[in-house]
Amino acid sequence: MDSQLTPAVLSELRHILGERGLIIAANQLQTYECDGLTAFRVPPAAVVLPESTEQVQKILRVCHRERIPFVARGSGTGLSGGALPTEGSIVIGLSRMNRILSIDIPNQQITVQPGVINSNVTAAVSPQGYFYAPDPSSQTVCSIGGNIAENAGGAHCLKYGFTVTHVLEMTVVLPDGDIVTLGSKLPNAPGYDLAGVFIGSEGTLGVATEMTLRIMRKPETVQVILAAFNTISAAAQSVSDVIASCQLPAAMEIMDRLSIEAAELSVHPNYPACEALLLIELDGPQGEVDLQMAVVIDICKRNGAWETRLAVDENARFLVWKGRKAAFAAAGRLSPNYIVQDGVIPRTALPVVLEKLNAMAAGENLRVTNVFHAGDGNLHPIILYDRNNPGEEERAIDLSLRILDVCVEAGGSITGEHGVGREKQCSMSYMFADPDLETMQRLRRSFDPLNLSNPDKLFPTPRICGERSRGAYAPHSLETSGIAEVF
Amino acid sequence: MDSQLTPAVLSELRHILGERGLIIAANQLQTYECDGLTAFRVPPAAVVLPESTEQVQKILRVCHRERIPFVARGSGTGLSGGALPTEGSIVIGLSRMNRILSIDIPNQQITVQPGVINSNVTAAVSPQGYFYAPDPSSQTVCSIGGNIAENAGGAHCLKYGFTVTHVLEMTVVLPDGDIVTLGSKLPNAPGYDLAGVFIGSEGTLGVATEMTLRIMRKPETVQVILAAFNTISAAAQSVSDVIASCQLPAAMEIMDRLSIEAAELSVHPNYPACEALLLIELDGPQGEVDLQMAVVIDICKRNGAWETRLAVDENARFLVWKGRKAAFAAAGRLSPNYIVQDGVIPRTALPVVLEKLNAMAAGENLRVTNVFHAGDGNLHPIILYDRNNPGEEERAIDLSLRILDVCVEAGGSITGEHGVGREKQCSMSYMFADPDLETMQRLRRSFDPLNLSNPDKLFPTPRICGERSRGAYAPHSLETSGIAEVF
């Protein structure tokens, strides 16, 4: 189905991009046939590597004229198949658009290209005392363009908000090749908030080629405390109490016994052995953090924490986070295979939902370990299984889908931060009513009437989902995707 | 042009709404012929007063079938003519949809109808220690539905964000009568952020009939300080320094000498007589506020503040804000007529822009007084004039438009919080490139292909703006609009 890529079109692309900017050799295309969701693989018809907005515009003009679908790709670390090529598509690899274009410290802004690696933004402004807040765990390898596509979060988005809070303005090439400016460097611009709708649109509305990001002053101090509880419910209650107390920690994470054990086996963070570990990070001026920490410790103790341990220095804090960030990969120490699920529930529903999950896991004779962005109600259940036991993988997949059902039934969501992409598109109709999905589709068509920009993603389609199927889900494993640390 | 409102259609509307819910008598329609922008008046063909989502749906189905334009209206306090009827339109008055539907304290949410008055949301949750953050100065009379249409701000949106930050989920009736749910009660829902695009769309995408809002825990303490400076630049530098110091005050406002004098004449807040008054409010736990206040005072003094006066108690704080909120209405003490302008500039451009404005005013022999949401770079220049002096009104209008030009040229915006509506629609093409406006229009058509929902607003149209005119601007005066206090 790569018939649209005629020699004339290829020659035109080569003319736009130069010899180095066009990949068509089958062995080189393999690199681009999947992202972090390695269970799905489709080789693209070609890969282009533009270096400027103008080149992206020319590419999209060709795609538009020839009706060739395209898929933009950052670092390919996504976990939901958002950068999976569509059959016959051109992949637009943005890794060469990796320049920092300008830094404006007085207005706390930085302008970058989409291929810039997340942690390089902070690196660029760190000498002046600033940082870029969104911190997906893959931040040392994932790109800002990909972060925008997925509206990436991270442990600290509890306090600082998701990517959408930190992108002020973007240059976007629309699927017909028009170049537009979405958003504004100033607050509350007139007109529709098109930047807000583009961020998190998973590549379906066009290609962002330049973005102005908000940078923030580094806090004077950062402190992390570990609190050990006998039950997840007690830890969850502490999270609710901290939020109700008018404190806003930078991060609040819960790990259960199995994930603590896995982390110990993997990176030895020396966590207290307990049923539920609550990790709370506070940041701000020293005096404020001291005051807040006293309140937080008091709340934990009132909820039954039998140990509250402050990470005494930068090294201790680093080790605490290393354990938490390694939790997924560490699941490989507990089990030959596992599925990482990503769902959201109202914070207050945590005890009830966990009880259900545990009962469901027991019913399937499977082990499930849990790590949570507890402040946001974002669950990451990890279903452990052994592919060599007949039928176990199928039961694990089924369980992971039923966990999403439980999340939705509790008033929650099918994904907190990994995105819909290819993985969960069939679950969208379980979460949204038909008119809601149709309204999104209308918006999509208003940007992309020919359905060329990352088609067959995000929304359920009869071809992929059948008439009313939820599950085209397939497990992904961090060993195979090569990503060491992912939330 | 009310020919579409045939007796059969009126009878159908009466059947839907009951006798009390339909207004067609000319003298009763007068109330609805303008909003706070009283210079523009168009009587609607009819006014309907629904009490439920279902009634709104039935009304929009009739409008859709009969191709009748409609304009949703909250309290009619808007300053840009957003609720101005279109000729032949039906105004949908939402004042009867004023019920609080549910309160969920553990999840910090409240669900209301669009006619609920802004300050009544806080009143409903205040006994439990919570508040609703967006605080337009008209908050005792303006409605939540109107706040959503305009993405309303207020002095405290510096810290807490605009309305869009505080609306989680909405029930919306689309222009074809379909009912959809936009947004989510949980963070970072999958799919496009349609709630974000609806909020601030000035009534052009449909009618929100139910909304779940975020409520926040009241801060333990609130403190306000007044700092007196010899120059606006010194006050502005203090604002930049406070933000760069990693402090985030609840509010930062600057008033110039003329607006201080006006406030004194009007409500006697006993401000220090100075060239520039900086008002900074801090809120949070007592200990934190004490620490922050010391830093803030130090910054002000280093920038030359010769008096820093802490409002010692609740009464003193109330008086400080009363003076600030009265600044617009108080302009009437200085001059028989005035125009309130609303523009945004990068915070760092404040000194340069002010110098330009003053030179322009001097050139026209007109006085301009200024109050600023300084933290956000949101200017409210007030142009004083006397309509009885021949040509003075025309020069004042022209000056007020040229002030917007200066804002846009400085990298700013034509409106910070009053909206575009009818007033500034012709200025949109001065701020946005054609492809940007066309992308917004495509989005609009995807929601409203028949252009029935508040048509002829927000975007420039040849009929209203001519081929390339910026200014269909007309001055509004708070005396005539009957709003006592507006930012």
- Spell out which residues of chain B touch residue A443, defining contact as CB-CB under 8 Å: 192, 194, 197, 443, 446-447
- The predicted-structure confidence for B169-185, as pLDDT tens digits, reads as follows 999 999 999 999 999 99
Count residue pairs from A and B with Cβ separation < 8 A: 223
Cα separation, A484 vs A479, in Å, equals 8
B411 to chain A, any CB pair closer than 8 A? The answer is yes
Distance from CA of A191 to the nearest CA of B (A): 7
Interface of B with A in 350-389 (CB under 8 A): 376-378
With an 8 Å Cβ cutoff, is B188 touching chain A?
A: yes
Contact A107 B412 (CB under 8 A): no
Residue A1: per-residue pLDDT: 46
Higher pLDDT, A1 or B328: B328
Nearest CA in chain A to B295: A285
Residue among B180, B220, B416 minimizing CB distance to A435: B180
Asked if A217 reaches chain B (Cβ–Cβ under 8 Å), the answer is: yes
pLDDT score of B348 = 84
Across chain A, how many H-helices and E-strands are there? Answer: 18, 19
Q: Which residue, A416, A486, A371, is CA-closest to A140?
A: A486
Contact (Cβ atoms closer than 8 angstroms) between residue B229 and residue B274 = yes
Do A41 and A9 touch, CB atoms closer than 8 A?
no
Q: Tell me if A443 and B192 make a contact (CB, 8 A cut-off).
A: yes
Q: Test B417 with A347 for CB contact under 8 angstroms.
A: no
A345: left (phi over 0), alpha (psi -120 to 50) or beta: beta
- At the topology level, CATH places domain B221-325 in Alpha-Beta Plaits (3.30.70)
Mark yes or no for CB contact B284/A432 under 8 Å: no
* Shortest Cα–Cα distance, B220 to chain A (Å): 8
Class of the CATH domain delimited by B100-217: alpha beta
CB B413 within 8 A of CB B377: no
Are A242 and A299 within 8 A, CB to CB? yes
CA angle A242, A248, A250 (to 5 degrees): 115
B406: confidence class by pLDDT, cuts 50, 70, 90:
very high
- d(C-alpha B103, C-alpha B131), whole Å: 12
CB contact under 8 A, B435 and A179: yes
CA atoms within 13 A on the CB side of A69: 21
A133 touches chain B (CB under 8 A): no
A-contacting residues of B 100-129, CB under 8 Å?
106-108
Nearest-by-CA chain A residue for B435: A180
DSSP code at position B453: B
Instruction: Yes or no: say if A79 and A153 are a contact pair by the CB < 8 Å rule.
Output: no
Give the alpha-carbon dihedral of A336, A341, A346, A347, to 10 degrees.
40
Interface contact B402, partner A, CB < 8 A: no
- Which residue in A310, A326, A473 sits closest to A405, CA to CA? A473
Calpha distance B149→B156 (Å, rounded): 19
Cα A238 from Cα A324, distance rounded (Å): 19
**CATH 3.30.43.10 domain span(s) along chain A:** 7-93
Whether residues B187 and A220 touch (CB distance < 8 A) is answered with no
pLDDT tier for residue B467 given thresholds of 50, 70 and 90: low
User: Residue B77 and residue B100: Cα distance in Å, rounded?
Assistant: 21
CATH number for region A331-487: 3.30.70.2740
For chain B, the straight-line distance linking the first and the last C-alpha, in angstroms and rounded, comes to: 36
The sign of the torsion formed by the CA atoms of B399, B403, B409, B413 equals: negative
Interface residue B201 vs chain A (CB under 8 A): yes
- pLDDT of B219 strictly over 80: yes
- The alpha carbon of residue B34 is apart from the nearest alpha carbon of chain A, in Å, by 21
> For position B124, what pLDDT does the model report?
98
Chain segment A29-52, per-residue pLDDT in tens: 999 999 988 888 999 999 999 999
Other beta carbons within 10 Å of B226: 24
Strands of B215-341 (E only): list them: 216-217, 221-229, 251-256, 276-284, 307-310, 337-340
- Cα–Cα distance between B5 and B1 in angstroms, integer? 9
Helix (H) or strand (E) segment spanning residue A257: helix A257-267
* Cβ-based contacts of B436 with chain A (< 8 Å): 180-182, 191
Please check whether residue A56 is in contact with residue A173, taking contact to mean a CB–CB distance below 8 angstroms: yes
For A34, which DSSP code? -
CATH 3.30.70.2190 residue ranges for chain B: 221-325
Query: CA–CA separation, B81 vs B78, rounded Å?
Result: 6
Cβ–Cβ contact B304 with A under 8 A: no
- Residue B186 near chain A (CB below 8 Å): yes
What dihedral do alpha carbons B183, B184, B188, B189 form, nearest 10°?
-90
Report the run of H or E that residue A157 belongs to, with start and end: helix A157-160
DSSP helix/strand/coil, A277: strand
Please state the rounded mean pLDDT for residues B281-296: 91
Place B477 in a pLDDT band, splitting at 50, 70 and 90.
very low
Q: Which of A:53-82 have CB within 8 Å of B?
A: none
pLDDT given for residue B3 in this prediction:
58
Q: For B118-138, write each residue's pLDDT tens digit.
A: 999 999 999 999 999 999 888
Listed in order, the ranges of chain A carrying CATH 3.30.465.10 are 100-217
- Please tell me the distance from the alpha carbon of residue B148 to that of residue B195, in angstroms, as a whole number: 10
Of the candidates B80, B57, B51, the one whose C-alpha atom is nearest the C-alpha of residue B70 is B57
Which range in A321-325, A464-468, B405-409, B448-452 is most confidently predicted, on average pLDDT? B448-452
Q: Can you tell me the distance from the alpha carbon of B71 to that of B267, in angstroms, rounded to the nearest whole number?
A: 37
CA distance B331 to A455: 56
Position B81 confidence tier, pLDDT thresholds 50, 70, 90: very high
Which residues share a beta bridge with A393? none
Contact with chain A for residue B447, Cβ under 8 A: yes
Per residue in B3-56, pLDDT (tens digit) is 589 999 999 999 999 999 999 999 999 999 999 888 889 999 999 999 999 999
Cross-chain residue pair A178–B435, CB shorter than 8 Å: yes
In whole angstroms, what is the distance from residue B271 CA to residue B37 CA?
A: 30
In chain A, what's the furthest Cα-to-Cα distance? 72
**pLDDT tens digits for A277-326?**
999 999 988 888 998 999 999 999 999 999 999 998 889 999 999 898 88
Whole-number Å distance between alpha carbons of A403 and A392 = 16
The helix (H) or strand (E) run that includes residue A46 is: strand A46-48
* Structural contact between residues B75 and B99, judged by C-beta atoms closer than 8 angstroms: no
The alpha-carbon gap from A148 to the nearest alpha carbon of chain B, in Å, equals: 12
- Chain-chain contact of B346 with A107 (C-beta, under 8 angstroms): yes
Q: Please tell me which residue, B471 or A53, carries the higher pLDDT value.
A: A53
CB A188 within 8 A of CB B162: yes
Within 238-267 of A, beta carbons closer than 8 Å to B belong to 240, 243-246
- Contact list in A for residue B179 (CB cut-off 8 A) is 435
Task: Tell me if chain B has a CB within 8 Å of the CB of A193.
Answer: yes
Residue A146 pLDDT = 98
Query: What phi, psi does A274 have (nearest 5°)?
Result: -160, 175
Q: Where in chain A is the domain with CATH 3.30.70.2190?
A: 219-325
Beginning with the edge strand found earlier in the chain, give each strand of the sheet holding B90-93 in spatial order. Answer: B22-23, B46-48, B90-93, B70-73
How far from chain centre, in Å, is Cα A117?
A: 14
Which of A104, A160, A169, A192 to mutate against chain B (most B CBs within 10 Å)? A192
Residue among A163, A157, A159, A149 at smallest CA distance from A212: A163
Residue B173 forms contact with A (CB below 8 Å): no
**Cα–Cα distance measured from residue A330 to residue B394, given in angstroms and rounded to the nearest whole number:** 72
Closest residue, chain B, to A181 (C-alpha): B436
ipTM of the complex: 0.90
**CB under 8 Å to A456, separation ≥6 — which residues?**
A86, A422, A463, A464
B-chain CB neighbours of A174 within 8 Å are 435, 439
Q: Note whether B291 and A285 are within 8 A (CB).
A: yes
Contacts with A465 (C-beta within 8 Å, 6 or more apart), sequence order = A425, A426, A429, A472
Could you tell me where in chain A the CATH 3.30.70.2740 domains are found? 331-487
B431 — contact with chain A (CB < 8 Å)?
A: yes
Instruction: Report, as ranges of residue numbers, the positions in chain A whose pLDDT lies below 70.
Output: 1-3, 467-487
The alpha-carbon gap from A160 to the nearest alpha carbon of chain B, in Å, equals: 12
- Report the residue of chain B nearest A417, measured CA to CA: B188
CA-based nearest residue in chain B for residue A201: B192
Cβ pair B151:A188 closer than 8 A: yes
Residue in chain A lying closest to B237 (CA): A106
Q: What is the model's pLDDT at position B475?
A: 45
CATH fold of A7-93 reads 3.30.43
Q: How confident is the model at residue B466 (pLDDT cuts 50, 70, 90)?
A: confident
Per-residue tokens: A432: 């949204």
Q: Does A421 touch chain B (CB under 8 A)?
A: no
Q: Kindly report the backbone phi and psi dihedral angles of residue B138, in degrees, each rounded to the nearest multiple of 5, phi listed first.
A: -85, 20
CATH code for the structural domain at A219-325: 3.30.70.2190
